[in-house]
Amino acid sequence: MIDRRKVLRDAAILIAAGAAAACAAPRAAVRTAASGTIAWEHPVDGGIRGVRYGTGTVMVETDAGLTGLEGRTGRELWRLPIATPGIGRRSCTWDHAFVVCGTEPDAPVQRAVAVDSVSGERKWVFDAPEGVTLAGVFGVRDGVLYAVASGPGNGTREAWAVDTRTRTVRWQVPCDAEGLYVPDAGSLVYSQSPGSGGDLTALDAGTGATVWSRAGDSSVSATTIESGLVGGAVLATDGAHVISGLDPNTGAALWNTPALSYPADTLFGAGDTYYLCDGSKLHAMRPGGDVAPLWSLTVSDRDKEFKAGGYAVTGAVYLLAAGALRAIDPHTSKVRWMRAIPDVDGATVPFAVGDTHCYVESGDGAALLAVER
């Protein structure tokens, strides 16, 4: 729960600090080319709530608000005292800026703010109507911001399309989703409701009309929609043993796997490969009905199964599980390096991948680490 009084107090501290705060240096800043080596650390008080990378800057969220750090050196660039619903999955990048939403000390209503990633200057601000809560901002395309909002009154959750030029709402439609996925191109945006059997829905980006929906479909417990398409399809798991590939334009099933011999729990992917975590191993798979893994990697031999978070980028797979961040070769399954992280559900550990580093919460939660990729 965000403490608004704490945000107001910290805002006053930041204002009093003035220009001196902007010159703060990271702890033990060391430049090195060795992959897996800690390049710098940024100490925090009270833990990290979220991390996001964009245009050479890493943005870190704490109880005090947001801080922009130079991605290569950790040098502090700017601060913004805003209490957000979480930047890890509820903010976005756009035109050399971070777009975030939440409550600022000087604002009577919630707002979405586009902040220049280097200078911290505001490019634009959208003030939500009184009583409206902004649950997240998920993408900007063709001058339109796509967000999830709720209230006022009965608190009904809606998807909003906001014109960033006129600061007006173009359309708003009922939406039980926790988040949206906004592709870089095309005519659709996607949402998925929370929980097993939630509705995976494609909306017309121009009107908000439903183009297709897998309403109440038990085969769609979780998908790769947040990270994009894999092999041209939206991948979905039933949360048990079956993976499906869905046509992104129609929602129709393109293929289904037979029942796997292991749980199809954590699912992520990119390009033409997807990855499954079954509680002890990571499996690399090709999209389609073939269930023979390209490779399998034992991540933990503990009696207790782990919960994982995974990210696939060009040339590497990053897995957060069983108290460690692993950088894995996507072709051979070789673990290139490991770093200790909090021993919790890997999907909840603050993490982001940049151009030259990846950024993760330290094992003791006292710092943000920049690790050479």
Per-position DSSP letters for 102-169, written without gaps between them: EB-TT-SS-EEEEEETTT--EEEEEEPPTT-EEEEEEEEETTEEEEEEE-SSS--EEEEEEETTTTEE
Q: Tokens for 200?
A: 């995976």
Count of alpha carbons within 13 angstroms of residue 283, beta-carbon side: 21
- In angstroms, the CA 143 to CA 291 distance is 42
R_g over Cα of the chain: 21
Inter-CA distances, 334 with 201, 347, 356, Å: 37, 22, 20
Global pTM value: 0.86
Query: How far is residue 185's CA from residue 201's CA, in Å, rounded to a whole number?
Result: 17
Structural domains in the chain plus CATH codes: 82-217 (2.40.128.630)
pLDDT at 355: 94
Question: CA 364, CA 373: separation in Å to the nearest integer?
Answer: 21
| Rounded Cα–Cα distance for residues 342 and 350 (Å) | 10
Please write down the HEC assignment for all residues of 276-321: EECCCEEEEECCCCCCCCCEEEECCCCCCCCCCEEEEECCEEEEEE
Low-confidence ranges of the chain (pLDDT < 50): 1-25, 27-33
DSSP type of residue 245: E
Q: Among candidates 164, 165, 138, which has minimal Cα distance to 149?
A: 138
What is the pLDDT, as a whole number, of residue 302? 65
Distance CA 139, CA 127 (A): 17
Q: What is the pLDDT of residue 163?
A: 98
Rounded to 5 degrees, φ, ψ at 289 are -80, -10
Would you state the pLDDT for residue 204? Answer: 98
Residue type, 234: V
CB-based contacts of 84: which residues, under 8 Å, 6+ apart?
50, 61, 66, 90, 91, 100, 101, 102
DSSP state of 16: H
